[in-house]
Amino acid sequence: MTWPDSFYVDYDYDLTNAVTGIRENGATSGAGAIHLRRDTARLR
């Protein structure tokens, strides 16, 4: 997704299409990268 001021966000997905990460402007670490972890214990 890209905003008019050229800010953009990328979403990362695993093989089940669950979102595993959100990155702003291509960041791979730091404050601009959010890595999500699925709580498989609560899915049962």
pLDDT in tens, 1-44: 788 888 888 898 988 888 888 888 878 777 788 777 776 666 55
Max Cα distance, the chain (Å): 43
Q: Is residue 4 part of a domain?
A: no
Residue 2 domain-assigned (yes or no): no
Query: Is residue 25 in a domain?
Result: yes
Backbone angles phi, psi at 9, to 5 degrees: -130, 135
**Could you tell me which residues are beta bridge partners of residue 8?**
2
Q: Is the CB of residue 38 less than 8 Å from the CB of residue 31?
A: no
Domain containing residue 32: 9-39
Predicted structure pTM score: 0.62
Residue 3 within any structural domain of the chain: no
